Structure 1
């Protein structure tokens, strides 16, 4: 079973769609995050949940 590390980003309502895309793209490229969920609220703010797989080292003998 895969274990994931999660990061929650809150983007205020004044954030444009292009700026939000740029922020999420930077996290994906440089931090190996992938978009798990994006919620757009009625007031225009966004909540993005990013995740990345946790790789655990296994001992070998």
Structure 2
């Protein structure tokens, strides 16, 4: 029995506290809908900054001859 583990690529970035909750939601929704990213982690710091980690699955195509 073989198991396949998914491989992901990650994108990490910071958003300043001046970004509204609505604009952050729009940014993450667009990234998910149009680029295939999903939210892996979001950390909200006491000073209002957000550290966001997005991930998406790497799809590899196997060629057979």
TM, length-normalised to structure 1: 0.93
1:41 is aligned, of 42, 45, 51, to 45
- Number of equivalences: 61
TM-score (norm 2): 0.88
Distance across 2 between alignment mates of 1:44 and 1:24: 17
Give 2:9's aligned residue.
Answer: 5
- Which 5+ residue runs of structure 2 have no aligned equivalent? none
Runs of at least 5 residues in structure 1 that lack an aligned partner in the other structure: none
- Which of residues 6, 29, 32 in structure 1 aligns to 2:33? 29
